[in-house]
Amino acid sequence: MLTALALATALSGNFVHPAPTPPADLPAAVYQQRRTRLMAALDGCAAVIASQGDVSGVTDDYRQDADFYWLTGINESGAHLLLQPQSTYRKVSLFLKSRDPEAERWTGPREPISPQLLEQFGVDRVARGSPEGAMASTGLHHDCVAIITPARMGKEGRGDDDMALRMAGRFGLKVVYKRGVLAQLRAAHGPEELARMERAIAITAQGHDVVARATRAGLSERDVQTQLEYAFYAAGGTGLSYSSIVGSGPNGAVLHWDKNSRILQNGDLVVVDAAAEYGRYAADVTRTYPVSGRFTPEQARVYRAVYQAQEDIFAAIKPGVSMADLQHVAEESMRRAGYLADFIHGFGHFVGLDVHDAGDMEKPIPVGAVFTVEPGIYLPAQGFGVRIEDEVLMTDRGFRMLTGTIPRKLEDVEAWIARERK
């Protein structure tokens, strides 16, 4: 019998070490169009927004917040975007943090201000430092200032709202709150975004093919994770959408299990919630795999209830429906099946630059929005859980399934596992 390590090695034998080419950056024109749309929604008001990324790791890896990235394509801390729709020549100004030669010996050189940098970012002005000085002229030529910081972001650590309010007080400008404007604009994706998300999904599908092979007794959850993530990168993924969740047996009843430490056993179900990122755009897929290759009668009964909840939600997706409407549909399906108390989370969420992306749960889902449909049932007393998660694109007639190549019907999952394990 193969040891876990030998089996993991054998499973990886189908891969050639990848040398993927990262996707081309979106052209500056895409970001220009987005900023133009935002300024049109501000009704002539000025606005300022600061970058709000997260830093992690010894090397201070930086990940820009999705709102600022959507407007600029810039993955750099300490940046500000100043919008002056009433200005003749400087409607969009970008302020980057000042250069630090000593710090750049650790992090790499940063480009000097130049006409090339203007062209690269597609703005009217690029400068370094705080935008506060430039906001004096803004206050002289605008009647109002808009606060566009998303409501989900707290005030702590933000200086942009304070800058805007100081400008309003100094020049007697009207303050207009438009905290939901970026979520509204970002919820509907353009073709360049959909192309990247569909590529992320195709890469994710290849990873889940590996999971169908790798979820065997004797391997650990970590073995499955490493095989899966290798497959993502081998297929050209540029990152992970989130930390991979591999929950076997009772761990599958833990919604966000991420220790991935248990050894898989015959009779287990394995909930694998894992997806690749491509060009900063996320995917999000969950499948539930029987280690033996077949579901037991009890597991099958629960699996079919989750599958039926998905089907009920899909049937309800039509123009004008909201995420809140679909949540009600999911809960009613679970109630009919007798599992409502074991359905402990929302049916889904928007997906885009973040795996849990911007969008309004109460308003009609806009055409072009991508969201998940992911009902689940969690039974810790019985030692297993089931979740099935797919992504759909909202259309003017209903929806288009984006993850349809990944088997999800019970009989198809069993056949898929048998096929992959040959």
Are 43-177 and 188-421 equal in CATH topology? no
In contact, 68 and 95? CB cutoff 8 Å: no
Query: Of 300, 276, 297, which Cα lies nearest the Cα of 406?
Result: 276
Average pLDDT of the segment spanning 200-220: 97
Average pLDDT of the segment spanning 201-205: 97
CA-to-CA separations, 68 to 35, 76, 206, 232, in angstroms, rounded: 11, 10, 31, 27
Average pLDDT of the segment spanning 197-225: 97
Average pLDDT of the segment spanning 150-175: 83
Q: What is the pLDDT of residue 9?
A: 44
- For residue 31, give both structure tokens: 């970001």
Amino acid at 197: M
The per-residue pLDDT for range 80-131, each reduced to its tens digit, is 999 999 999 999 999 999 888 887 787 788 888 889 989 999 999 999 999 9
The per-residue pLDDT for range 353-401, each reduced to its tens digit, is 999 999 999 999 999 999 999 999 999 999 999 999 999 999 999 999 9
Q: What is the pLDDT of residue 14?
A: 54
pLDDT band at 23 (very low <50, low <70, confident <90, very high): low
- For residue 17, give both structure tokens: 């070490």
Handedness of CA 42, 167, 121, 240 (dihedral sign): negative
Strand, helix or coil at 330?
A: helix
- For residue 325, give both structure tokens: 């409407």
The class level of CATH for 188-421 reads alpha beta
Q: What is the pLDDT of residue 395?
A: 98
Q: What is the pLDDT of residue 16?
A: 54
In contact, 273 and 286? CB cutoff 8 Å: yes
* Percentage above 70 pLDDT, the chain: 92
24 vs 349: CA distance, rounded Å: 27
207 vs 314: CA distance, rounded Å: 25
Kindly tell me the burial class for residue 124, based on how many C-beta atoms sit within 10 Å of its own C-beta (0-12, 13-18, 19 or more).
Answer: middle
Instruction: Evaluate if residue 4 carries a pLDDT over 60.
Output: no
Q: What is the pLDDT of residue 5?
A: 43
Task: Report the CATH fold assignment for 43-177.
Answer: Creatine Amidinohydrolase; Chain A, domain 1 (3.40.350)
Give residue limits of the domains in the chain: 43-177, 188-421
Residue owning tokens 């030692």: 383
Instruction: Evaluate if residue 41 carries a pLDDT over 70.
Output: yes
Q: What is the pLDDT of residue 184?
A: 93
Residues 6+ apart with CB under 8 A from 415: 407
DSSP 189: P
* Percentage above 90 pLDDT, the chain: 82
In contact, 60 and 107? CB cutoff 8 Å: yes
Using left for φ > 0, alpha for ψ between -120 and 50, and beta otherwise, residue 359 falls in: left
Q: What is the pLDDT of residue 367?
A: 98
Q: What is the pLDDT of residue 58?
A: 72
Average pLDDT of the segment spanning 160-184: 94
Instruction: Evaluate if residue 1 carries a pLDDT over 90.
Output: no
Average pLDDT of the segment spanning 147-168: 80
In contact, 352 and 281? CB cutoff 8 Å: yes
Instruction: Evaluate if residue 339 carries a pLDDT over 60.
Output: yes
Distance of CA 149 to the CA centre of its chain: 19
Average pLDDT of the segment spanning 254-279: 96
Provide the mean pLDDT of the chain.
Answer: 92
pLDDT band at 3 (very low <50, low <70, confident <90, very high): very low
Claim: this prediction has a pTM higher than 0.85: yes
Strand, helix or coil at 376?
A: strand
Strand, helix or coil at 220?
A: strand
Q: What is the pLDDT of residue 393?
A: 98
63 vs 238: CA distance, rounded Å: 13
Q: What is the pLDDT of residue 316?
A: 98
pLDDT band at 183 (very low <50, low <70, confident <90, very high): very high
Q: What is the pLDDT of residue 352?
A: 98
Alpha-helix residue ranges (DSSP H) falling in 12-92: 28-41, 66-72
Average pLDDT of the segment spanning 125-139: 92
Q: What is the pLDDT of residue 181?
A: 95
